[in-house]
Amino acid sequence: MKNTKNNRTIKYKLYSLGALLVTLLILGFLQVNSSQYSYQISILERSAIYAVVAVSMNLLTGFTGLFSLGQAGFMAIGAYIVAILTIPVEQRASVYYVNGISPAIANLQCPFWLALIIAGLVAAGIAALMGIPVLRLKSDYLAIATLGFSEIIRAVIAAPQLDRITNGSYGLKSIPGFPNLFVAFGLCALCILLMVLLINSSYGRVFKAIREDEIAAQAMGLNLFRYKQMAFIISSFFTGIGGGLLAMFMRSIDSKTFSINLTYDILLIVVLGGIGSITGSVLGAFLVTAGREWLRFFDNPLYIGGIQIPLFRSGFRMVVFSILLMVVVLFYSRGIMGNNEFSWAGLGRLVKGIPDRFTKKKQKGDNTL
């Protein structure tokens, strides 16, 4: 009995190793042919970055039960810090050509990995300050207050008083991108891995306890504010890094990038994937980002037999997309994964279950007939 169990874990480990190898091979292939597949690569990179932010949002919403809508604000902080710290010094004059650059930051430069860590730390620091008033609030008040903070951060970034640092409404350009695909995906994977480890640790259990019942969690000797603050800070740290990664991906940013709609996009990824499932958030990020591209044909005029179908024109894609999301929210509120995680055993059951499901459906059909 025990032996078969061991065998099985070894088998699953081998599967995981295999999956990792395949992923690396695909990445290597894309890297070699990067010019040919630049469109696909950009979709995958954006998905991976959104996955980081979605998992960090899930850490709060799904695991700690704190409904926060401040993601865009923390991403903005991260993105601007990475941009300011990594734009090559010699190009800064051309980036800040309208207002000039503040001498304090004119020669401040550091490697991108350090910039990303600083981005995360600053986002975490701001979250720590923000958490003091905000985390005392309950559910929807918390949502609206964090959303408000996110808007304040955006207003501050766009403020003319900071033009010489953030370049106001002109935004920041010439941000160096990722040196290669492995760095891009490696960083995203590392962030997600750290969050997975945290969620599966003793602290992750505490977060879940707070989600389940705050009063009972307190009765277990857990200081609510301390652990909520901790979840908020950690989530913001990774959201900040996610914002930094997004800046590196987009190469140019402005404050409009980080509007409420960015938060909503991330929220919809989390919901689609399943609130409380990391695998779900990652899957959701790839599906939503890629789905938007797949649905692109909705935006182009469609001719069937020489007749133009009237619905298909610019903007239709987003309508279809939002209807799909509403369908998920209303009819599949558990999302793709519910609150389950991926496991090889689960996948095995799913694959084996497919034929059963067909036969079952048939039986059901027979019964009703």
Tokens of 97: 């050509």
Q: Which residue number, 93 or 311, has a Cβ lying nearer to other proteins? A: 311
Tokens of 278: 């990391």
Distance of closest approach, residue 363 Cβ to other proteins, in angstroms? 27
Distance of closest approach, residue 22 Cβ to other proteins, in angstroms? 26
Distance of closest approach, residue 25 Cβ to other proteins, in angstroms? 29
Exposure string for 46-67, b = 16+ CB within 10 A, e = fewer: bbbbbbbbbbbbbbbbbbbbbb
Q: Which residue number, 138 or 364, has a Cβ lying nearer to other proteins? A: 138
Q: Which residue number, 92 or 131, has a Cβ lying nearer to other proteins? A: 131
Task: Report the alpha-carbon distance of residue 119 to residue 265 in Å, rounded.
Answer: 21
Distance of closest approach, residue 311 Cβ to other proteins, in angstroms? 9
User: Cα–Cα distances in Å, from 328 out to 15, 99, 274, 325?
Assistant: 31, 47, 10, 5
Exposure of 337 in the CB half-sphere (CA atoms within 13 A):
26
8 A C-beta contact, residue 265 and residue 72: no
Q: Could you tell me the end-to-end alpha-carbon distance of the chain, in angstroms, rounded to an integer?
A: 45
Distance of closest approach, residue 140 Cβ to other proteins, in angstroms? 5
Task: Report the alpha-carbon distance of residue 45 to residue 283 in Å, rounded.
Answer: 13
- Give the binding site for other proteins (CB under 8 A): 61, 67, 133-134, 136-137, 139-141, 143-145, 147-149, 151-152, 155-156, 158-160, 194, 197-198, 201-203, 205-206, 208-209, 212-213, 215-224, 230, 234, 260-261, 264, 267-268, 271, 275, 313-316, 318-319, 321-323, 325-326, 329-330, 333, 339
Q: Which residue number, 111 or 133, has a Cβ lying nearer to other proteins? A: 133
Q: Which residue number, 318 or 345, has a Cβ lying nearer to other proteins? A: 318
154 secondary structure, DSSP code: H
Q: Quick one: 37 exposed, middle or buried, by C-beta within 10 A (0-12, 13-18, 19+)?
A: middle
Task: Report the alpha-carbon distance of residue 52 to residue 241 in Å, rounded.
Answer: 9
In sequence order, what are the beta bridge partners of 308?
A: 303
Q: Which residue number, 19 or 159, has a Cβ lying nearer to other proteins? A: 159
User: How far is Cα of residue 29 from the mean position of the Cα atoms in its chain?
Assistant: 25
Distance of closest approach, residue 323 Cβ to other proteins, in angstroms? 7
Distance of closest approach, residue 365 Cβ to other proteins, in angstroms? 26
Distance of closest approach, residue 17 Cβ to other proteins, in angstroms? 19
Q: Which residue number, 213 or 347, has a Cβ lying nearer to other proteins? A: 213
Q: Which residue number, 122 or 153, has a Cβ lying nearer to other proteins? A: 153
Residues in CB range of 366: below 8 A, 6 or more apart:
none
